Amino acid sequence: MHLQYRFLYIMASLFYFACPVHAQQSDSLAVRKLVNEIMTNGAAYENLRQLCSFGPRLSGSSGAENAVQLTQKMLRDAGADTTWLQPCKVTHWVRGNPEKGYLETSDGIRHELRLSALGNSVGSGDKPVCAELVEVTSFSQLKELGEKKLRGRIVFFNLAMDPTKIHTFRAYGESGVGRRSGPSQAARYGAIGVIVRSLASNVDPYPHTGATMYNDSFPKIPAVAISTEDAEWAHRQLQAGRSLHACFSSGAMIYDDVMSANVIGEIRGSLYPEEIITVGGHLDSWDLGQGAHDDGAGCVQAIEIIRTFKALGIHPKRTIRAVMFMNEENGTKGAKAYLDSAIARREKHLFALESDDGGFSPRGFFFEVPDPVFQKISRWKPLLMEYGLYEFALGGSGSDIGYLEKIGTNLAGLNTDSQRYFDVHHAATDRFEAVSRRELHLGAAAMIALVWLVSEYGL
């Protein structure tokens, strides 16, 4: 099998321009061989099991540092020509004492909240934040209420994800504004605390955390996410005309940045070693679950690409670099360090592909590339459709590789079937058991197919 493949590979190289039909056939066989190796012998799932067994990997935590060591070893075991750690200072936010909170109706019904401090938020200090709860569903409503209605209150951003958006990330992007900017927007009008509805597709009992970004112009006030069940409860009470008194405590603290690292392993290109193809995910995760889908999946898929090339004895023409970025969730400081290093070393970054939409069945790719490059890539679509990869669209690629846009890198993101993603995203339910082996491996297969084509033919 190996020799036969080699033969076809050489044939493809010789006749690609002279004989496009043969090239197409041999490309198809080459892609099939890569995919079959992953679907048959893929190690990504077992690597993910191991990675998840170490617990969460919040930037600056010991879990994250353990994961750095573990994934460097995985890259070595996968057969990377070289592996290294790329130092970076990362955000060091700590949850501290477990959050507590409740709501109480004007007629004395007390409802305990399932809640989580928002990432990068400040804590409540020695005593809880307690005040009347004011529900809003938009920033314009917030502005309308103004300081008169909001000063000294706790603002409740009840922005449900739109269930009719089939691409769930669009719903996430829209409703996520409350979590991302809500605390500072509320503080602008004198609010003393913020409660956001968790960003979850369904009504469930789990708080889903995520980063908030304070605006330095306004006071930094404590902010928590409550479960969608709790949010629905609160909404019903307020709709029924009952006022709600809210109380919550948060032990969250931001410390000075600490040293951490991106984990990198590469296969040196056989013909154009100076042209780098980055394929990656982010190694850090939130601390409530195991970060299995977000983004252990992307990490083990990147490692799988190294393993597969090596296991099949295929030498890509261009350099393939698997990168596990640190600190995507609450700082993207690993990504910044990667860009800085690329600039300092005058590296030529041809292409980068990120997997950070969960370890689900792949549907295609989003590209951030110039039109002629998109045209070229689109011609490969017939090779990939038999693996269910139908969606080739222009759009966002990934938070980490996004930085490489500054040096003109062609970018892509794996587009997955994300219907289940916001059941588990940033919550305690993002565990190894939520990942399907075949779906995870099919994602890695989609990635290696695209990476191989770019490595063979450039862009």
> Which of these segments, 56-64, 71-79, 162-170, 215-223, binds its own copies (CB under 8 A)?
162-170
Reading the block at residue 223, the tokens are 């902010």
Binding track over 4-43 against its own copies, x by CB under 8 A: -------------------------------xx--xx---
Is 257 a binder of its own copies (CB under 8 A)? no
Residues 6+ apart with CB under 8 A from 443: 297, 301, 355, 359, 360, 361, 362, 414, 416
Among 26, 59, 201, 290, binds its own copies (CB under 8 A): 201
Encode 398-412: b = buried (16+ Cβ within 10 Å), e = exposed.
bbbbbbbeeeebbbb
Q: Find the distance separating the first CA and the last CA of the chain, reported in whole Å.
A: 29
CB nearer to its own copies: give 282 or 363: 363
Other residues' Cβ atoms within 10 Å of the Cβ of residue 374: 16
Smallest distance, its own copies to C-beta of residue 205, A = 14
Collapse the DSSP code of 179 into the 3-class scheme (helix H, G, I; strand E, B; otherwise coil) and give the result: helix
- Which residue in this structure is represented by tokens 């689900």? 360
Looking at 111-224, list the stretches that DSSP marks H as alpha helix, in order from N- to C-terminal side. 139-150, 168-175, 177-188
Reading the block at residue 60, the tokens are 């600056």
Smallest distance, its own copies to C-beta of residue 183, A = 29
Phi and psi torsions of 253, nearest 5°: -145, 140
Smallest distance, its own copies to C-beta of residue 434, A = 10
Among 1, 3, 166, 240, binds its own copies (CB under 8 A): 166
CB nearer to its own copies: give 42 or 193: 42
Is 436 a binder of its own copies (CB under 8 A)? yes
The DSSP-derived string for 202-265 is: S--S-----B----TTS----EEEE-HHHHHHHHHHHHTT--EEEEEE---EEEEEEEEEEEEE
Binding track over 361-380 against its own copies, x by CB under 8 A: x-x-----------------
Among 17, 108, 126, 164, binds its own copies (CB under 8 A): 164
CB nearer to its own copies: give 317 or 420: 420
Is 391 a binder of its own copies (CB under 8 A)? yes
How many CA atoms, within 13 angstroms, populate the side-chain half-sphere of residue 118?
Answer: 29
Binding track over 405-424 against its own copies, x by CB under 8 A: ------------x-xx--x-
Positions touching its own copies (CB under 8 A) are 35-36, 39-40, 163-164, 166, 168, 201-202, 361, 363, 386-388, 390-391, 417, 419-420, 423, 436-439, 442
